[in-house]
Amino acid sequence: MKNDSTTNLAIAGVLIATATVLGAFGTHALKPVLPPARFDSFEIGVTYQFFHALGLLGIALLQRSYPASVGLRWSIRLILIGLLLFSGSIYAMTLGAPRFLGMVAPIGGTSLMVAWGVFATTCWRLRLQSATP
């Protein structure tokens, strides 16, 4: 798959739309039937998906100005991996998947943290590059 800002903007849009659907599904279909702790976990997955998808949207917009940036590409990849592992495992466990999947969520969370570290470092370097004549 070609890794460009337009594709990444589309992915961010799909993730935001999916988070909206999952949030509505959770509130209207799951909240009445799930124990409060499981519903709270589901909401955390949706919240993280929303915030990181919005962040992905911002990175994809920045990528338009710096299409060759390896750091921006890695930030995007790590966010996508993190969302799949973190929110995905929470969604799966909410719907009855085996509890051992709970060990996957911290790996996804770590991927998200590393993604934002890579993003911050990349922005710092881009700032320095653009400041040099």
Nearest to 55 by CA among 124, 119, 103: 119
Query: Helix, strand or coil for residue 63?
Result: helix
pLDDT one-digit tens code per residue, 66-101: 999 999 999 999 999 999 999 999 999 998 899 888
Neighbours of 114 (CB within 10 A): 16
pTM over 0.95: no
**pLDDT tens digit sequence for 16-33:** 999 999 999 999 999 999
Q: 3-state class of 17 per DSSP?
A: helix
Give me the pLDDT at residue 127, please.
84
Sorting pLDDT into bands at 50, 70 and 90, what band is 128?
A: confident
Residue 26 and residue 46 in contact, taking contact as beta carbons nearer than 8 Å: yes
CB 5 within 8 A of CB 57: no
